[in-house]
Structure 1
Amino acid sequence: MDGARAHDGIDICNDDNSDQRRNSPGMEAVVHKYKVVPPPKQSTVKKIKWKLKETFFPDDPLKNFKGQPARKKWLLAVKYFFPILDWMPRYKLSMFKSDLLAGLTVASLAIPQGISYAKLANLPPIIGLYSSFVPPLVYAVLGSSRGLAVGPISIASLIMGGMLSEAVNPYADPTLFLQLAFTSTLFAGVFQASLGILRLGFIIDFLSKATLVGFMAGAAVIVSLQQLKGLLGITHFPKRMGVVPVMSAVVRTTNEWSWQTVLMGACFLSFLLFTRHLSIKKPKLFWVSAGAPLASVIISTLFVFVFKAQDYNIKVIGKLKSGLNGPSLDRLLFDGTYLDITMKTGLVTGIISLTEGVAVGRAFASLNGYHIDGNKEMMAIGLMNIVGSCTSCYVTTGAFSRSAVNHNAGCKTPLSNVVMAITVMVTLLLLMPLFAYTPNAVLAAIIISAVIGLIDIQTAYHIYKMDKVDFLVCIFGFLGVIFISVQGGLAIAVGTISIKFIRYLHTDNGQDIIYC
């Protein structure tokens, strides 16, 4: 564009018809020059103060406290830390019907998922149910999201099981492994709560969409491959989670395959995938997909019990003790030998579970037209895991699959988490002996059907069209997870996006700003 050079390298043309006059015979372009006045200079201290405020307090959390009497300030402070005191006084009986239905529906998904994900973390199945009992009760008091359903998730379970297995064999020394799991959960909770208290939530935002898409897809592949042990009936399986060692083990152990297990696993996996596809095509039938895992467990358990299928190479869970989870404070282990691995595991699982929990909470809050405080959610999730580590639970967060079911079932408040927890409690007290004949193949099928939705090809293609560098970040994260390790893939993806960010900060395109 033609035009005179204005002050500080900025061209300003305030006449919309200047191009027409410039091209008209005998007419010259009329360009008005304006001097752009630079903003007033600020001291370094003021700049730092402004930057810190924008980083740590962009939402001005104390604005509601200004000008209020002391009693009102105390009341607002208590409500801030205990959101249940904000919504419970306004709770209506008409809401309970929706929360009751949602809680029961989520429980039908939480029970088989809890058992399955605990096995994925190399923990006793009962720990998965414990983790679906205490943490939801804590979140109902401290959480600000109305629709977030709390429990263990596949990715954090996989990471915890994989990282701790590098230090201790979960089958050779299950007691020590359990101690490390509880300790890692404590560190995860402390890290998560600290992020919220110190208002450092922007750190998890550094995990870009591309990073998460690649990482989640790679983790979903690894989780699915790990389930080949249950689907094929293999006894000897590698500890490493890479695609190469897993597939090598599958090929080398063909003599251990059980056609009965393969047939059962394939049938129930097909059933679960069909119900999932049906619920996607017809959202009103969400309850079909939500109830399919529990239905699969019940049907397969009855089949094994009636036909004595365990005598025909179909491996089952075995006897599970009944009762509620006791305190595990005395099981926390801070021995210097294992302190490094528990802290690392807590940090990685804490970041991943916190990222999913906050993202899911924000997504469903947006759908329902309200806002949640990310830092408050971090404190709630962190305190939930701290309490969980002391009550025989491992890392939990707001799970996407459960929250989607909770939302579709019409939940109104966090009370649906309480209903879910009570249902799990009844299961722990009365129904545990019934799971003794549940086949491992069905649990493997439940995990695969749950994580397959994490492979988001459509979003990856959209990233490719929008930004090739972000697409490389996505690919590097994916390949790093499946060929190196879950934590290695995450580190590669974050490292790549960091290089892009640093390059962006130091890039000066040198172009003038032109306003017309």
Structure 2
Amino acid sequence: MVDKDYFVEREVLDELRLNEVAQEGKWITKPPVRERVKNFFRCSVPRLKRIVGSWVPILGWLPQYSLRENAFGDLFSGLSVASLHLPQGMAYAPLAALPAVYGLYTSFFPVLIYTIFCTSRHISIGTFSVVSMMVGSVTVRLAPDQNFLVNGTNGTTVNSAARDSARVQIACSLALLTGIFQILLGIVRFGFVVTYLSQPLIRAYTTASACQVASSQLKYLFGVSIARYSGPLSLIYTVVDVCRMLPKTRVVELVVVLIALAVLIGTKSINNHFKDKMIVPIPIELILVILATVITHYAGLIDKYGVTVVGAIPSGFRAPVIPDASYFPSIAGDAFSLAIVSYTINIALAKTFALKHGYKVDNNQEMIAVGLSNGIGSFFFCFNVSSSLARSLVQDSTGCKTQVTGVVSSIVMMIVILKIGSLFQELPVAVLAAIVLVNLTLLFMQFTDVYTLWKTNKIDMVVWLVTFACTILLNLDIGLAAAVGFSLFVYIIRSQL
């Protein structure tokens, strides 16, 4: 017996009745094009508020901010994230072939800008190893050491001041162009593009990028001086050079790195094991940076053993400067690659935390937010940014409720830049290398994808392996283009079959 409640009585209309219903106005028909255009350009206060709120999300949630419910969590989380911004900013700036102080700038300005325009509440924007490495490949390619050789009393040396100045200009121009691409893509609603970048491709690319980053830190691990390569096979050239220089290893710097690695790995293991019982993870990176600086100063490691240190860190901010647009033609391809990669990483983390906490993020607004962070930050000597998994996990686990956390961490970084940053000029570079290597652990764990894909989807495994090989052999920019091309080819073949 069928329950009669499942049936819905509908009116059956013939042609005559159709005309009658249309004349009675019971059907809603589209207005003429002229009327729709007029409505599109018509302005009213509610519509204006809605448009401004969609473009500047902070205006929507900040007036409703509850101090009682959110203030303590955001304050505590902001302080915790700032303890990571400081060491990671200083550590990732050399990956971009820039002095450490520019990593501090990049941990301040873009964070504030992202807070204003983002829709995610829990991710931490700023320096990121893979993106910094991609920037470094561009700055080294366009401003290699060979272009700044000078003859002096001690032979031919590199004019480091002129080289660093040129690389900063290139990095700022790259950040501006990347930001322009991201803003334009967000305006034309191009956020859907990430759905066509498969997870195997993204994870393989970030894994290979982690290998590229690790190879760049080998010279600091052994305390040797080698050239920095860019372009195809740069990783192989770097590893060969390091192996050739192993007899000249500086034992003191090797010991410093090994001690730093042991401390970092041991403490992070404790943090992971007792994460449910600890109110906040031990900020071991910040503690290590402080201790290493103090020990280096009072033990005289620079004078006695010639330990390489960060060097001068000027206090205060520099006046904003318009980036040099003359570099745009030579960096357009790199800027577009960075625009896609940084946005992909950002939206993946944003959606992960949004799903966990039960809210939605806007793909296109996130692209615009990251684009504005890159674009506006470039005027203040910042290089490209993206979200960081390590910082985002800390931000989430320490009670973050809103992006006020970013404001708090920015205030801390402002104090560091104005007053405290110069105290870290005797920090050994080897310690920063150890911080970089340990933070790559999560990316290296993605090697297990090969085994998983072998069991589940062998075609995706092939995409993973091809992407990894292209990125390792052809460098980050060309490797990404080749990987995307191969992925599209596989997609076409799949659809045809």
- Partner Cα separation in structure 1 for residue 278 and residue 258 of structure 2: 22
Q: Shift of residue 351 of structure 1?
A: 1.4
More displaced stretch, 114-123 vs 449-458: 449-458
Alignment of 1:71-82 (within 5 A): 71-82=45-56
Q: Deviations over 1:454-474 (max 9, x none)?
A: 121333332222211111111
Matching residue within 195, 199, 221 for 2:185: 195
Alignment of 1:414-493 (within 5 A): 414-455=403-444, 456-493=446-483
Q: 2:116 — aligned with what? A: 141
**8 Å contact kept, 1:258–1:313:** no
Match of 1:499, as an amino acid? F
How far is 1:245 from its partner? 1.0
Which residue of structure 1 lines up, in the alignment, with residue 148 of structure 2?
Answer: none
Could you report, residue by residue, the CA deviation over 1:79-99 in whole angstroms, capped at 9, with x for unpaired residues? 111111111111111211110
C-alpha offsets along residues 304-337 of structure 1, whole Å, 9 cap, x if unaligned?
A: 01101112131111121000242021xx2222xx
Does residue 502 of structure 1 match 2:495? no
Displacement of 1:290: 5.8
1:324-371: CA deviations, max 9, x gaps? 242021xx2222xx4333222211222111111111111111111111
Q: Deviations over 1:416-445 (max 9, x none)?
A: 000000100000011122111100000000
Counterpart AA for 2:123: L
Q: Which moved more, 1:374-383 or 1:393-402?
A: 393-402
Alignment correspondent of 2:308:
315
Partner deviation per Cα, 1:269-313 (whole Å, 9 max, x = no partner): 122122233333333367775611111101111110110111213
Choose which of 250, 253, 264 in structure 2 pairs with 1:261.
Answer: 253
TM-score (norm 1): 0.81
Q: Give the stretch that moved more between structures: 270-279 or 468-477.
A: 270-279
In structure 2, what is the Cα distance between the partners aligned to 1:179 and 1:154? 20
Partner of 1:3: none
Q: Deviations over 1:367-387 (max 9, x none)?
A: 111111111111111111111
Q: In 2, are the aligned partners of 1:105 and 1:290 still within 8 Å (CA)? A: no
Per-residue displacement from partner, 1:451-505 (whole Å, max 9, x unpaired)? 2211213333322222111111111111222223122332232122111111123
2:379 to 390, 412, 432: 390
Per the alignment, do residues 339 and 138 of structure 1 end up closer, same or farther by CA in structure 2, a change over 3 Å counting? closer
Aligned pair partner of 1:373 in 362, 378, 392: 362
**2:399 match:** 410
Q: Tell me the secondary structure at the aligned position of residue 407 of structure 1.
A: helix
Aligned: 1:301 with 2:276: no
Structure 2 unaligned residues grouped into runs of 5+:
1-38, 146-159
C-alpha distance in structure 1 between counterparts of 2:214 and 2:237, whole Å = 14
* CA apart distance, 1:221: 1.3
Opposite residue 325 of structure 2, the aligned amino acid is F
SS of equivalent residue, structure 2 residue 268: helix
CA separation of 1:129 and 1:498: change in aligned 2, threshold 3 A: same
Distance, in Å, in 2 between the alignment partners of 1:472 and 1:403 is 31
Residue equivalent to 1:250: 242
1:169 and 2:144 correspond:
yes
Name the % identity. Answer: 31
The aligned runs of 1:208-287 (5 Å cut-off) are: 208-240=198-230, 242-284=234-276
Q: Does the 8 Å contact 2:337/2:480 carry over to 1?
A: no
CA distance in 2, matches of 1:487, 1:203: 18
Summarize the Cα distance change of 1:283–1:489 in structure 2 as closer, same or farther, 3 Å threshold: farther
Match of 2:33? none
1:459 is paired with a residue of what secondary structure?
helix
Using the TM superposition, give the Cα deviation of residue 181 of structure 1 relative to its aligned residue in structure 2, in angstroms: 0.7
**Does residue 1:333 correspond to 2:324, yes or no?**
yes
> Shift of the alpha carbon at 1:238?
3.5
- Work out which of the residue numbers 97, 100, 103 in structure 2 matches 1:128: 103
- 1:180 maps onto 2:170 in alignment: yes
Q: Is the 8 A contact 1:324 1:425 kept in 2?
A: no
Contact preservation (8 Å) 2:280, 2:398: no
Aligned partners of 1:272 and 1:289 also within 8 Å: no
Alpha-carbon shift at residue 69 of structure 1 (Å): 9.5
Offset of 1:391 from its aligned partner? 1.3
Separation in 1, partners of 2:490, 2:470: 18
Tell me which residue corresponds to 2:132.
157
Q: Is the 8 A contact 1:147 1:412 kept in 2?
A: yes
The 2-side partners of 1:234 and 1:215 are apart by 28
Judge conservation of contact 1:213–1:460 (CA < 8 Å) in 2: no
1:50 equivalent in structure 2 = none
Verify the 8 A CA contact 2:105 2:382 in the aligned structure 1.
yes
Opposite residue 72 of structure 1, the aligned amino acid is: P
Indicate conservation of the 8 Å contact 2:192/2:363, yes or no: no
What is the match of residue 358 of structure 1?
347
CA–CA separation in structure 1 for the residues paired with 2:50 and 2:328: 39
Residue pair 1:238, 1:245 contacting (<8 A) in 2 also = no
Contact 2:107 2:126 in 1 (8 A): yes
Gaps of 5+ in 1: 1-64, 508-516
Mapped contact 2:97–2:139 kept (Cα < 8 A): no
How many residue pairs match? The answer is: 439
Letter in 2 for 1:297: V
Conserved in 1, the CA contact under 8 Å of 2:334 and 2:477? no
- How many angstroms does 1:189 deviate by? 0.4
Letter in 1 for 2:118: G
The residue aligned with 2:35 is none
Q: Which runs of 4+ in 1 moved over 4 A?
A: 285-290
The whole-number CA distance in structure 1 between the counterparts of 2:271 and 2:348 is 22
- Matches of 1:262 and 1:404 in 2, distance apart? 30
Deviation at 1:256, TM superposition (A): 2.8
Distance 2:277 2:260 in 1: 19
SS class of match (1:317): coil
When structure 1 is superposed on structure 2, of 301-310 and 239-248 the one drifting more is 239-248
Alpha-carbon distance in 1 for matches of 2:353, 2:202: 18
Match of 1:93 among 67, 70, 73: 67
